Chain A
């Protein structure tokens, strides 16, 4: 069975590295992105199954990125899970919905929490 491809977007390089490792250890293929401006390109080319997106990134906003992803046919079907330390899950839920964010998970989450979140979104896709 093909490993599911997860794209993770965050400007915290150490966190990105650790998360990549966690997801890899849980059987995913991981694409790291620390430059918010490359998300659209890389997502269009690599066709990940799911994108984990930090909502508060330097010089950009996760909301904007999610909104862009939902406007292009090549990326429109990719589910987006927001990871945030800034907002809580209940806040801005309607804004998240408008931007095409399917789920929000609050940092610091456990490995189990993130895997559960990914799996539940992927199941919805099928």
Chain B
């Protein structure tokens, strides 16, 4: 009996000891649970008052936290969302059930890349910038979102947290900046182009002013001796009264006048020009210039054909002297393009169908211009002729520019050249 009692007592003692251990264990558990609860509350509190809209889902994708900021952003209260699963949390953002950033955490990188161009994986989670249409009462906003996993003590994923920040202001600022940058760049481009143009004009002007002072000096240096020669020839004629000398003296006089003419041309080329606009009978001037060119080249067998596709009374506003100079130069060039001193020259005036401008073309079937030379045509002093200053087309270009017109060349070696001058009918007021 006593043996049995002894065994029972022993057993009882064992049970008590186990009981004690269990009590301690329960106590520990409770403590741990309390700690966990406290930790959870702390976390909830932290999440609740985070300035960024934030929510947390557990392993089963049920919402376990939905903070104040996200309530404001979505207009959906915490009570309506807590405990919900099956992507319910996406409705306030997109109006439909779909995965959000935090659902992509477990999706492999390649799949994300294939489907979401705006999602990036960073070392501690996913990052995205996206436009969300439904938030702020349907106004929508650009947001920055970050999703990160939450781990328990054993390193197991216990949930996922996503934080969302409204970056509409920043995006707008960026857009404005980009726009500003673009318009600034466009403006800059225009300014640069203008600057280059002015620079070119300056270079041209400098070039021309150099020609101008050179021409003036040459003019002076040549006109003085020419004056002496002319006067001397006159004196010889007067004093000798020898009729044999008369023709020689006349030749001297004639050549002096020719020299003077060349000098005058050179001066006129280089002088700063101002146009005096008036209503000009452009056809009459052209006809007059053609006649005088034919007189100058009277020995040449050049057939000149004038075509007119507009009313003869078609007048334009221009400087008549400058028009004459322009036509004379272009006609000279056309005549000089016939090495055999024969050919065909078509002068065509087109004015029909264009109320703003008139086009005058000089088309010769002369030797044509080498393509390499074509772009050098308007450079001062460029010439392919043995005789000539190389200023003719520079001046033509100047004169056309003064009239705010344009001048274009088309040419083919051996076939001929076409010079097209476009002149506005009216004076454009700046």
B76 at interface, CB cutoff 8 A: no
Known: A86-B219, A88-B267. A111 touches B224 (CB 8 A): no
Q: Which of B18-26, B147-155, B231-239 contacts A (4 or more CB under 8 A)?
A: B231-239
Contact with A along B205-216 (1 / 0, CB 8 A): 000000000001
Cβ contact of A109, chosen from B222, B227, B229, cutoff 8 A: B227
Question: Could you tell me if B223 and A15 are in contact, using CB atoms closer than 8 angstroms?
Answer: no
B228 touches A12 (CB 8 A): yes
Q: Is B220 positioned at the interface, with any CB of A under 8 Å from its CB?
A: yes
Question: Contacts of B226 on A, CB cut-off 8 Å?
Answer: 85, 107-108
Q: Nearest Cβ distance between residue A90 and chain B, in whole angstroms?
A: 10
* A108→B219 contact, CB < 8 A: no
How large, as a class, is the contact surface on chain B? 20 to 34
State whether B235 touches A21 (Cβ < 8 A). yes
Does A106 belong to the interface (CB within 8 Å)? yes
A88 to B256, CA, bound (A): 17
Whether A25 sits at the interface, judged by CB under 8 Å, is: yes
Closest Cβ of chain A to B295, distance in Å, is 23
* A56 is an interface residue with CB less than 8 A from chain B: yes
Partner pick for A85 among B222, B234, B253, CB 8 A cutoff: B222
A to B CB contacts below 8 Å, 29 in the list: A12-B225, A12-B228, A14-B232, A15-B227, A18-B231, A18-B232, A18-B234, A18-B235, A19-B227, A19-B231, A22-B235, A25-B239, A56-B220, A83-B227, A85-B219, A85-B222, A85-B223, A85-B226, A86-B219, A86-B220, A88-B267, A107-B223, A107-B227, A108-B223, A108-B227, A108-B229, A110-B253, A111-B231, A111-B234
Chain B positions within 8 Å of A, measured between CB atoms, are 216, 219-232, 234-235, 238-239, 253, 256, 260, 267
> Is B224 within 8 A of A18, CB to CB?
no
CB atoms of A18 and B267 under 8 A apart: no
Q: Are B256 and A108 in contact (CB under 8 A)?
A: yes
Please give the distance in Å from A17's CB to the nearest CB on chain B: 8
Given A12-B224, A108-B256: A22 and B219 interface contact (C-beta under 8 Å): no
Q: In the complex, what residues of B have CB within 8 A of residue A85's CB?
A: 219-224, 226-227
Question: A residues within 8 A CB of B238?
Answer: 22, 25
